[in-house]
Amino acid sequence: MKTTVVILAAGLGTRMRSKQAKVLHRAGGLSLVEHVVQAASAVTARDRIVVVTGHQADTVETLLEPMGVRFARQVQQKGTGHAVMCAREPLHEADPKQDGLLMVLYGDTPLLSAATLKQLRAAQTSSDAAATLITTTLDDPTGYGRVILDQQGNVSAIVEHKDATPEQLQVRVINSGIYCFRAKLLWKYITEIHPNAASGELYLTDIAEILNRHGQRVQPLHVADSSELLGINTRIELAEADRILRARKTRELMLSGVTIERPETVAIDAQVRVGADTVIEPFVRLLGNTAVGEDCRIGQGAILESAALGDRIVIAPYTMVADSRIDPGAQVGPFARIRMQAQVGPEARIGNFVELKKTRLGAGAKSQHLAYLGDSEIGERVNIGAGTITCNYDGEKKHATKIGAGAFIGSNSTLVAPVEIGQDSYVAAGSVITEAVPSHALALGRSRQVNKPGWNKNRKPKTAKKS
């Protein structure tokens, strides 16, 4: 049976106390609504997923556009029932005969798994019910809609926390906000939802009672692991969701052969890939679409964002790598910074307090201490002495530095770009290089030392020290 999905993501999320729409807040490296779209993708094609947007609709749509979903606008947020009604047109386009299933998901439940959605679809497909609703039992159901079951164990009503009687508040079976309807029946009866007396909103949850009134059955699908159904309303729940998503990710990596020391301290985004036998030390952050090869060691406190690492790489502690590539066998850090499309060649060595920006370092090249290498092309086996600086910026423009293979740059050299240094040449320590250095040459770019023999002996005697 054809399945279409609507994801409600139009609300502001007042309880977040944020300028940003709730579904844009991030947990586990993705926005809340991205997680929901990913889970929904397991039960239907992307073009049968309709996301209802409202608050910061443009931002939400720009974010999700690349995923290939459809959108519907809910200009005024008049409740979850109204939000579904706003999506009627694109949902009809996705299922013109309305003979399929319609799943309703909320954009603020990021922990939902694909497996649970498949289970929901299976439960609905194999029953004669008008709808299936995922429920769970919570120790503290505060804030959630309570599910009222009839004698046969079917859902007779959903009562929102605010509207519940003291007796109903005792119910710990809650509405997860995840439903699967026979599309035809939902559209037939949704118009019977009336504004809530207290808030004036149209609650989707009223549909349970309405279906019952028309002799249609709503069945619960009880899920034991309630952690999957956490709805994010406050930043406390956001932190909790982040913790759970991070734990899922480290668990998945450990099961695939990655060693993670103190996994509760690391943050690894959803899409990150790590090869087998790599060791991740405590307090590491692997972000964005970072990929790490096999047999690497990622040192304590390292932050890798959209970094591509080959095999056998050592990232020593407190190193940052962003939007850059490190080739197999290289060693980087501690306290190094590699950024903006930098490339560290195979077996190269980068030491402490070295910054590489938009720079390519050839195979086996070394820059072990205290250097800034920007907009540079550095050949194989080059040795960059401590304190070397490429002066790539003249106050207006950035300029390039080129260093040929096998060159030796003495300590504390200043390379004023644009400048080219030939292969196998030497630059004397402390030089300021403003002109090209030919291959195999020695360049001295500093004033000659002057020694004055006996100078200190011939000085006038100092005034006697006070005793």
Q: Which residues bind Ca ion (CB under 5 A)?
A: 108, 231, 233
Residue closer to ligand UD1 (CB basis): 2 or 222: 222
Q: Give contact residues for ligand UD1 (rule: CB under 6 A).
A: 8-11, 23, 52, 54, 74, 77-80, 82-83, 106-109, 144-145, 158, 160, 174-177, 203-205, 231, 233
Report what 23 binds from Ca ion, ligand UD1, none; CB cut-off 5-8 Å by kind.
ligand UD1
| Rounded Cα–Cα distance for residues 178 and 155 (Å) | 14
Out of Ca ion, ligand UD1, none, which partner does residue 401 contact, by CB within 5 to 8 A per kind? none
d(CA 296, CA 349): 15
**What's the maximum distance between 2 C-alpha atoms anywhere in the chain?**
114
Q: Shortest gap between Cβ of 143 and ligand UD1 (angstroms)?
A: 7
Q: Which residues are bridge partners to 220 per DSSP?
A: 133
Nearest approach, Cβ of residue 420 and ligand UD1 (Å): 57
Q: What angle is formed at CA 24 by the lines to CA 303 and CA 233, rounded to 5 degrees? A: 105
Q: Which residue is nearest to Ca ion (CB)?
A: 231
Residue 11 interacting partner from ligand UD1, Ca ion, none (CB closer than 5 to 8 Å by kind): ligand UD1
Nearer to Ca ion, 28 or 231 (CB): 231
For residue 238, the minimal CB distance to Ca ion (Å) is 11
In the complex, the smallest distance separating the C-beta of residue 144 from ligand UD1, rounded to whole angstroms, is 4
Closer CB to ligand UD1, 222 or 369, in the complex: 222
| For residue 461, cis peptide bond before it (omega within 30 degrees of 0) | no
Strands ordered across the beta sheet of 273-274:
273-274, 291-292, 308-309, 325-326, 343-344, 360-361, 376-378, 401-403, 419-421
Query: Rounded to the nearest 5°, which phi and psi values hold at 43?
Result: -115, -5
Catalytic residue check, 222: no
Residue 419 touches which of Ca ion, ligand UD1, none (Cβ within 5-8 Å per kind): none
User: Are 261 and 279 within 8 A, CB to CB?
Assistant: yes
- Name the minimum Å distance from CB 70 to Ca ion: 23
Question: In a 3-state reduction of DSSP, which class is residue 297?
Answer: strand
With CB under 5 to 8 Å by kind, the binding choice for 107 among Ca ion, ligand UD1, none is: ligand UD1
Choice between 119 and 233, CB closer to Ca ion: 233
Nearest residue relative to ligand UD1 (C-beta): 145
Q: Which of the following is catalytic: 92, 161, 222, 369?
A: 369
72-79, Cβ contacts within 8 angstroms, sequence gap of 24 or more: 72/6, 73/10, 74/10, 77/10, 77/11, 77/12, 77/201, 78/195, 78/200, 78/201, 78/202, 79/195, 79/196, 79/199, 79/201, 79/202, 79/203, 79/204
Instruction: Please give the positions annotated as active site.
Output: 369
